[in-house]
Chains A and B, each alone.
Chain A
Amino acid sequence: MERESMEFDVVIVGAGPAGLSAACKLMQLAQEKDQELMVCVIEKGSEVGAHILSGAVLEPTAMNELFPDWKEKGAPLKTAVKGDDVYYLTNEKKGIKTPNFLVPKPMHNEGNYIVSMANVCRWLAEQAEALGVEIFPGFTASEVLFNDDGSVKGILTGDMGVAEDGSEKDGYMPGMELLAKQTIFAEGCRGHLGKQLMETFNLRDHVDPQHYGIGIKEIWSIEPEKHQEGLVVHTAGWPLDNHTEGGGFLYHMENNQVALGFIIALNYSNPHLSPFDEMQRWKLNPKISQYLEGGERIGYGARAVNKGGFQSVPKLSFPGGLLIGCDAGFLNGAKIKGNHTAMKTGMLAAETIIESIMAGDVASKELGLMDEKYKTSWVYDELHKTRNFGPALHKFGTLIGGSFAWLDQNIFAGKLPFTWHNTTPDHDTLKSANECEAPHYPKPDGKITFDKLSSVFLSSTNHEEDQPCHLKLTDPSIPIKHNLPLYDEPAQRYCPAGVYEVITDEDGQKKFQINGQNCVHCKTCDIKDPTQNITWVTPEGGGGPNYSNM
């Protein structure tokens, strides 16, 4: 089929912190070097920021480098961190405040800002547009396009107006080819194109598998007398056992709002575990509920994060393109931050491309300079220093592992001469259901804790009704034949949006039901399904959550 196409110098997939930083830096450098450059960013969310979900405490390092005058330019970094509480929760009722000197250094937050990353991205998009970048929200990158020699030549945007059965509806609009000399993939954690590229170009050879967590976040409007703007609270311990990594956060933002959430490592082994319900009951601990009582929940969302860190960073360059940000995986698990590293790697990609253009033709070239730049950047140093943090927690559990992390970070500054590895991918860690005890989760009280569907409601997620399901099963029989008897089909629980259900029909037959419309694009299913049978692909452009201030 003959498709329309448009040509750019650089196409960037994803308008998150990495993609937008790359776009801004490309234009800044092009102007410095007096180069004409056509850069476009495509974004599957209905607008920039609609799919951005992050804690977030932002370390402004990369922002300072990208826009030294960000304050004058009105960047939405307004709430400086004023207090930094870390609690170890011992049970449902109690928590111990960890003395400051016992907190691993990377977890200190002086000089950082509590932000809505969605709003930071909206601001970055304005800067990018002012610099001449074309940004197209509401368009997906559904496929990578390759040249005959195997190099990447761009991407194909998703078709619009395809019915559930695959037929063309009225107003059908075929996808367009967006061609570029270099395509930057900045889809965020577990990008569906990034995943293919890593496979096609063997980018993950000689590195550990990526490790992930699922972060579930809510925004609350709380009573003014309980609000302490700038206060950052982190918790470890309850409700997770010593073998399940994760923890909670609660950040006091502006306007009597708090952002709170819970991250659980996706290498958990109990198939009965439900990250959503863990997050809900976590809020019942008085260290958290003290702020929420009398307040109103106004936002909900979820997103996978990558936490493999240093040992899991793949090769970043391949013929015709680059991987940046969380699409590659630069989150610093010890700091629980990846926005600054995402932004910085976006900037490194921009430098790579401009310097290579100055040296010659870059079209469909493999720019190994990107990998060199990463290795000499502070992102590398930072990830290297904290490389044993995650594996320590994994190896020894959160208590002893946490103690090691303190020694490693506060005494040895990350310079211990060994590197631990975690080579089991997260989808391979589940034990069988009958080996494990099902946690008892309390019924939602409608005040502090809620059910999944009323939560998803607050994500404002929506997908055009009549379209093919964007969650593909390689073998449709696996959920019922394999996963159900073995793991009680964990998708029912790990999905934080109630997309997957096992229902019993009239004749007592079990059926696997996919409610694709509920999807909040967190990608957990793509990561955690034990047989890797679920593939997340892009739905029609503009579908998915519509996060405000996330």
Chain B
Amino acid sequence: MKILVGVKRVVDYNVRIQVKADGSGVATDGVKMSMNPFDEIAVEEALRIKEAGKADEVIAVTIGPKVCQEQLRTALAMGADRAIHVETDDDIQPLTGARILKALADKEEPKIVLLGKQAIDDDNNQTAQMLGALSHWPQATFASEVNIEGESAVVTREIDAGLEQLSVDLPAVISVDLRLNEPRYVKLPDIMKAKRKPIETITLGDLNVDAAASVKVLKTSTPAKRQAGIKVESVDELVTVLKEKGLI
């Protein structure tokens, strides 16, 4: 059984982002880039499934410019067996990303596609669900526990109401949440070994997918700062205003 894991290169979560003065986006020059933290959890989960003897191969895939291979190398160093780089300089939106993953899934025939629930740059939270729809596969989003049982998986999902369990037939798409696992530290020898693992580079043309952006970003701006409110003089006054707003 194969597991396909999506890996996206994003601005590192520690970095305070800067919106460019001309509104054309967020500054990324000289900024630390990393694997999307949710994707790291997805890679870790794939490896754990493999290490539990329930999968034979973990394939990491990324979509983006050449530099994204750095993140594939990280996935390989963590333990992925091989990697696919869909190379493009275009801005890839979730629907396109899902179409690309669908094309790859058709080719590789994995039983599970593991994705982060969202990328911490555009925060869309769409790709896994879209891939589920396009492939007519089940989806289990926001996973905090994954149990593979033969031809199905029981997934615990972190939803607003609590923890929901779904049973899905394989193949399925699973998007992972923060509490699923703690990704491993990468070992130095594995980083060196990762440099020798294969990365297959393919183009959108090879997959017959059109990259055209469909949602147009008109401008990027800095969010409005919160304004100071009022000072209340007493607890009674506080209770009154909070009750008026229906907050207590």
Contacts and interface: CB of A to CB of B under 8 A. Distances in A.
Interface of A: 4, 6, 46-47, 49-50, 116, 118-119, 122, 134, 136, 139, 157, 160-161, 170-171, 173, 176, 178, 221, 256, 298, 457-458, 460-462, 546, 548-549
Nearest to A119: B30
Interface stretch (B10-18, B140-148, B158-166, B234-242): B10-18
Given A160-B185, A161-B185, A171-B185, A116 B30 contact: yes
A73 to B, nearest CB: 17
Interface in B8-65: 12, 14-16, 18, 21, 27, 29-32, 34
A460 B188 contact: no
Contacts of A161: 185
Give the interface size bracket for B toward A: 20 to 34
B226 to A, nearest CB: 14
Contacts of B21: 221, 256
Interface of B: 12, 14-16, 18, 21, 27, 29-32, 34, 182-185, 187-189, 191-192
Contacts of B191: 134, 136
Contacts of A549: 29-31
Nearest to A161: B185
24 contacts: A4-B187, A46-B12, A46-B34, A47-B32, A122-B30, A134-B192, A136-B191, A171-B182, A171-B183, A171-B184, A173-B184, A176-B187, A176-B188, A178-B188, A221-B21, A298-B18, A457-B16, A458-B16, A460-B16, A546-B12, A546-B14, A548-B15, A548-B27, A549-B31
Contacts of A118: 30
B32 A136 contact: no
A357 B188 CA distance: 26
Contacts of B34: 46
B104 to A, nearest CB: 29
A170 B183 CA distance: 10
B182 A548 contact: no
A548 B32 contact: yes
* Interchain residue pairs A-B with the least CB separation, the first 6: A549-B30, A160-B185, A173-B185, A462-B14, A548-B31, A546-B14
Nearest to B29: A549
B30 A49 contact: yes
Contacts of A298: 18
A6 B15 CA distance: 32
Contacts of A119: 30
Contacts of A116: 30
B17 to A, nearest CB: 10
A8 B192 CA distance: 13
Contact of A139 (B16, B29, B182, B188): B188
Contact of A50 (B29, B32, B182, B185): B32
Given A118-B30, A546-B14, 7 more contacts: A4-B189, A6-B188, A46-B14, A139-B188, A460-B16, A548-B27, A549-B31
Contacts of A134: 191-192
A460 B29 contact: no
Nearest to A169: B182
Most chain B Cβ neighbours within 10 Å, of A122, A173, A176, A546: A546
A173 B14 contact: no
Contacts of B188: 6, 136, 139, 157, 176, 178
A548 B30 contact: yes
Contact of B14 (A6, A170, A460): A460
Nearest to A45: B32
Contacts of A221: 18, 21
Contacts of B183: 171
Contact of B189 (A6, A139, A458): A6
A176 B183 CA distance: 19
Contacts of B12: 46, 460, 546
Nearest to B222: A296
Nearest to B191: A136
Contacts of A50: 32
A171 B189 CA distance: 17
A139 B186 CA distance: 10
Most chain B Cβ neighbours within 10 Å, of A47, A118, A157, A161: A47
A256 B14 CA distance: 24
A155 to B, nearest CB: 12
A232 to B, nearest CB: 20
Nearest to A175: B188
Contact of A546 (B29, B32, B184, B192): B32
A120 to B, nearest CB: 11
Contacts of B182: 170-171
Nearest to B186: A138
Contacts of A47: 32
B139 to A, nearest CB: 28
Nearest to A157: B188
Contacts of A546: 12, 14-15, 32
Nearest to B184: A171
Contacts of B18: 221, 298
A275 B27 CA distance: 30
B221 to A, nearest CB: 13
Contacts of A139: 188
A221 B18 CA distance: 10
A160 to B, nearest CB: 4
A356 B12 CA distance: 42
Most chain B Cβ neighbours within 10 Å, of A47, A136, A546, A548: A548
Contacts of A461: 14
A408 B174 CA distance: 72
A50 B12 CA distance: 11
A49 B12 CA distance: 14
Contacts of A462: 14
A281 B18 CA distance: 25
Contacts of A457: 16
Contacts of B16: 457-458, 460
Nearest to B12: A546
Most chain B Cβ neighbours within 10 Å, of A256, A457, A458, A549: A549
Contacts of B29: 549
A460 B27 CA distance: 15
A460 B189 contact: no
Contacts of B27: 548
A7 to B, nearest CB: 11
